[in-house]
């Protein structure tokens, strides 16, 4: 008979907890969200033996059970809620061999909740190099648990871990420290009032602001009466508790852990000397960014061209080989171009997440936070805003979520508000196709114009993020305590498996999430473009034949299609907004693409593809089709002025429903997403207008 048990993985950030999770679950994992909040929930299945399957949850990294962020409160909420279907049968605390002392703090807290708790000491491969010796027998005895010594890098110790997990029932659930010794009268009183409750659990409920599941809240609500203590008094008790825990840990480690400092080689200080140097540190950071952006553009262009031409061919194939009818036309003119518009993103997104996850895995990102804090604070941001601003180049959604570890609310809010200015990957296809159309080939000092234009757009995005952050910091009246604590982890070679899983996960999520919207919109667009009211649409053929009696063959049928499109529902809508956008240099077809882009920017290319393929029967790539569009005066529609105006519009406008939704969730109000939607879009209009008027 097969059994299943719940396992929760806990641990400080940078301990390789996620590597342990990846080793145990591989690609069985799935990423979702905790209900109601946007904290990422990673789950996976691990086969412990032939009959036992384990359901693993990789909880967000936390230094202790005293939550200071939303991510961390998820951990406590789960551990305190016995009724949750995810409540662990056994908790695994992952510790890094080099920071054992600090990692054990979390271990003692988890164990004190009365949950069977197992200790994993990771990075065992580092022990020799760092001159570390452990007395595992003694540690197991004194910590009253079982320990698995693991190296995720060398794939060692995981079988032992699985064996220990199978025997989790034998783990002791006795608390490690006696809380009542911290403040006798206070805790004795607590014990008397709630004789049936775990003392540490009560204490956590009193000190944390956690949203408990209803049942639990009722049970412990009386405990909140103990909040009569002042906040600073509670904090003093928490400090005493921390001291108490460290005393317990230090005594154990004095005997169980031996570090021979002489044999330790120090990669950290050597690398730090260069990477966070007052001058060279910034140069290196800038060079890294340059390399990343250049390679994203260069490397992805080959697969993207391939995808672009393949989808044009596929659409043509469907048209010629399937029986004619509504379905075929929906497939060939709506769904296939729409899908192509999603697939074309994959190379760029994958490369971006590849680089970002390498920067994070190596420990370099924390150095960037350190380098940039002072400078960014001038604009009302935090050093920690660097991570959202850089991840924003992939997608604003994870970037907005990455603001969570910014402790100061004002700095966090400003970061959330300005992050959508950074050039996300959804803007890339828009830029890529427009740059290819309007920026000439050629090079300046060995850098090609098209690459420079792309770089300029990235800089414009960052620049606008900083300027608006500065304005917001001067205008927003929010007082909040400024706490800034960043761990500087050891430098590590990135684990390829971790990078691979991140790239796979993020790309997959993006494609399915964005894909749904894009697909829905391209179908809607096709319907609106394929039907229209009145005679102009239904009798287009006879009207056009009469008007242009000298035309025949392909020229005639193109004219008919164009006439029909103009009088379809979408044509009517586009014509209606044309007066507003023609001063920016756009025609009504771009107007349609612009409107549909408010759902998601990446829809732009797909929309044009759908409109054009409804209009023309010829097999052509989107780019060629765009290049042949002309204005009434015979000039190409996409020229330098209209192209740059359009790119700047996309650089500044808030065109992403998903981002608005996530900002609403994170700020808990519609006010801020609305500020973004109207503020950014107005700015975009003004900038695009002035650009076109000056250049044209």
- Rule CB under 8 A: which residues touch other proteins? 63-64, 66, 68, 98-99, 101-102, 105, 232, 235-236, 238-239, 242-243, 246, 268-269, 272, 276, 278, 366, 369-371, 373-374, 383, 407, 482-490
Rounded to an integer, what distance in angstroms lies between the CA atom of residue 322 and that of residue 315?
A: 11
**418: enclosing H helix or E strand:** helix 409-418
Host H or E run for residue 643: helix 640-652
The minimum distance between CB 278 and other proteins, in angstroms, equals: 5
Q: Which is nearer to other proteins, 177 or 457 (CB)?
A: 177
| Residue (146 or 367) nearer to other proteins, CB | 367
CB of 440 to other proteins, least distance (A): 40
Instruction: Report, in Å, the least distance between residue 413 CB and other proteins.
Output: 19
Can you tell me which residue has the tokens 């996620």? 18
Q: Report CA torsion sign: 510, 511, 512, 517.
A: positive
Which distant-in-sequence residues (6+ apart) come within 8 Å of 289 by Cβ? 390
155 to each of 133, 163, 221, 494, how far by Cα in Å? 20, 15, 46, 15
**CA dist., res. 178 & res. 198, Å (int):** 11
Distance (Å, whole) CA 396 – CA 382: 17
Q: Give the residue with the Cβ less far from other proteins, 411 or 587.
A: 411
Q: In the complex with other proteins, which residue's Cβ is closer, 279 or 444? A: 279
The C-alpha torsion from 298 through 303 and 308 to 309, rounded to 10°, is 120
Residues 492/362, Cβ–Cβ less than 8 Å = yes
Taking the least distance from each CB to other proteins, the nearer of 243 and 322 is 243
- Chain centre to alpha carbon of residue 64: 24
- Nearest distance, CB of residue 119 and other proteins, angstroms: 17
Strands 90-96 and 117-122: parallel
Identity of the residue, 232 or 549, whose beta carbon is nearer to other proteins in the bound complex = 232
In terms of Cβ atoms closer than 10 Å to its own Cβ (0-12, 13-18, 19+), residue 676 is buried
Alpha carbon distances (Å) from 312 to 206, 216, 318, 335: 62, 58, 10, 12
CB of 63 to other proteins, least distance (A): 6
Nearer to other proteins by C-beta: 42 or 245? 245
Please state the closest distance from residue 155 (CB atom) to other proteins, in A.
27
Closer residue to other proteins in complex, CB, 108/315:
108
Considering beta carbons, is residue 106 or 418 the nearer one to other proteins? Answer: 106
Closer to other proteins at the Cβ: 12 or 300?
A: 12
CB of 179 to other proteins, least distance (A): 16
In the complex, least distance from residue 275 CB atom to other proteins, rounded to whole angstroms: 10
DSSP for residue 634: S
**Per residue in 24-53, is it b (16+ CB within 10 Å) or e — as a string?**
bbeeebeeeebeebbbbbbbbebebeeebe
Instruction: Give the whole-angstrom CA distance, residue 312 versus residue 332.
Output: 9
Q: What is the closest distance, in whole angstroms, from the C-beta atom of residue 408 to other proteins in the complex?
A: 10
Q: Give how far Cα 290 sits from Cα of 301, 424, 567, 665, 681, Å.
A: 17, 16, 47, 33, 28
Question: Given the complex with other proteins, which of 231 and 546 has the nearer CB atom?
Answer: 231
Nearer to other proteins, 274 or 630 (CB): 274
Q: Which is nearer to other proteins, 12 or 607 (CB)?
A: 12
Q: What is the 3-state secondary structure (H, E, C) of 23-50?
A: HHHHHHCEEEECCCCCCEEEEEEEECCC
For residue 108, the minimal CB distance to other proteins (Å) is 12
Shortest gap between Cβ of 481 and other proteins (angstroms)?
A: 8
First to last CA, the chain: 76
Contacts 24+ apart (CB under 8 A), 397-405: 397/658, 397/659, 397/662, 398/506, 399/424, 400/659, 400/662, 400/663, 400/666, 401/38, 401/39, 401/40, 401/662, 401/666, 403/666, 404/39, 404/69, 404/70, 404/71, 404/666, 405/69, 405/71
Q: What is the three-state SS of 571-604?
A: HHHHHHHHHHHHHHCCCHHHHHHHHHCCCECCHH
Least CB distance to other proteins at residue 446 (A): 31
For residue 99, the minimal CB distance to other proteins (Å) is 6
């Amino acid at each position: 008979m097969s059994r299943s048990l719940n396992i929760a993985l806990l641990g400080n950030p940078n301990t390789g907890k996620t590597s342990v999770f990846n080793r145990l679950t591989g690609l069985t994992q799935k990423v979702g969200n905790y209900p109601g909040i946007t904290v990422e929930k990673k789950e996976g299945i691990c086969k412990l033996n032939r009959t036992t399957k384990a359901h693993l949850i990789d909880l967000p990294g936390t230094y202790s059970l005293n939550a200071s962020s939303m991510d961390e409160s998820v951990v406590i909420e789960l551990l305190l809620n016995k009724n949750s279907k995810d409540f662990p049968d056994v908790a695994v605390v992952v510790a890094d061999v080099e920071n054992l002392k600090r990692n054990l703090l979390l271990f003692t807290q988890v164990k004190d909740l009365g949950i069977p708790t197992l200790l994993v000491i990771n990075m065992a491969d580092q022990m020799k190099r760092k001159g570390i010796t452990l007395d595992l027998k003694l540690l197991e005895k004194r910590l009253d648990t079982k320990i698995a010594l693991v190296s995720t890098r060398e794939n060692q110790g995981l079988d032992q871990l699985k064996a220990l997990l199978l025997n989790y029932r034998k783990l002791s659930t006795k608390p490690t420290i006696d809380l009542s010794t911290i403040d006798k009268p206070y805790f004795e009183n607590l014990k008397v009032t709630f004789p049936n409750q775990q003392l540490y659990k009560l204490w956590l409920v009193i000190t944390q602001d956690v949203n408990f599941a209803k049942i639990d809240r009722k049970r412990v609500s009386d405990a909140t009466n103990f909040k009569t203590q002042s906040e600073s008094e509670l904090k003093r008790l928490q400090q005493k508790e921390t001291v108490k825990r460290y005393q317990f840990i230090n005594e154990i480690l004095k005997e169980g852990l031996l570090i021979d400092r002489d044999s330790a080689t120090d990669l950290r200080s050597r690398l730090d000397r260069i990477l966070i140097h007052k001058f060279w540190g910034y140069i290196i950071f800038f060079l890294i960014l340059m390399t990343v952006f250049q390679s994203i553009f260069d490397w992805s262009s080959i697969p993207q061209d391939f995808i672009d031409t393949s989808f044009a061919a596929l659409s043509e194939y469907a048209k010629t080989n399937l029986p004619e009818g509504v379905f075929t036309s929906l497939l060939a003119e709506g769904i296939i171009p729409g899908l192509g518009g999603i697939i074309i993103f994959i190379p760029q997104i994958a490369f971006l997440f590849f680089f970002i996850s390498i920067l994070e895995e190596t420990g370099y990102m924390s150095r960037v936070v350190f380098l940039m804090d002072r400078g960014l604070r001038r604009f009302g941001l935090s050093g920690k805003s660097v991570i959202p601003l850089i991840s924003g180049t992939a997608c604003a959604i994870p970037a907005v979520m990455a603001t969570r570890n910014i402790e100061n609310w004002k700095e966090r809010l400003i970061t959330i508000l300005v992050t959508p200015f950074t050039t996300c990957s959804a803007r890339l296809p828009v830029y890529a196709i427009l740059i290819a159309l309007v920026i000439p080939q050629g090079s300046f000092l060995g850098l090609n114009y098209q690459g420079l234009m792309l770089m300029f757009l990235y800089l414009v995005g960052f620049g606008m993020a900083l300027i608006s952050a500065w304005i917001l910091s001067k205008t927003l009246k929010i007082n909040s305590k400024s706490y800034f604590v960043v761990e500087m982890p050891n430098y590590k070679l990135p684990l390829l498996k971790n990078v691979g899983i991140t790239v796979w996960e993020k790309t997959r999520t993006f494609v399915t999430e964005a894909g749904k919207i894009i697909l829905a919109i391209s179908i809607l667009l096709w319907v609106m473009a394929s039907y229209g009211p009145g005679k102009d649409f239904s009798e287009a053929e006879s009207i056009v034949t009469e008007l242009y009696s000298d035309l025949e063959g392909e020229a005639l049928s193109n004219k008919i299609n164009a006439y029909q499109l103009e009088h379809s529902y979408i044509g009517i809508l586009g014509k209606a907004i044309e007066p507003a956008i023609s001063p920016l240099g756009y025609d009504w077809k771009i107007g349609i693409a612009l409107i549909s882009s408010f759902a998601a920017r990446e829809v732009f290319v797909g929309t044009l593809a759908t409109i054009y393929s409804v209009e023309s029967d010829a097999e052509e790539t989107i780019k060629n089709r765009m290049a042949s569009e002309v204005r009434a005066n015979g000039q190409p529609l996409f020229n330098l002025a209209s192209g740059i105006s359009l790119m700047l519009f996309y650089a500044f406008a808030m065109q992403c429903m998903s981002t608005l939704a996530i900002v609403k969730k994170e700020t808990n109000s519609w006010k801020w997403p609305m500020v973004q939607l109207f503020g950014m879009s107005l700015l975009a209009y003004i900038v695009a207008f002035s650009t076109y008027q000056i250049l044209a």
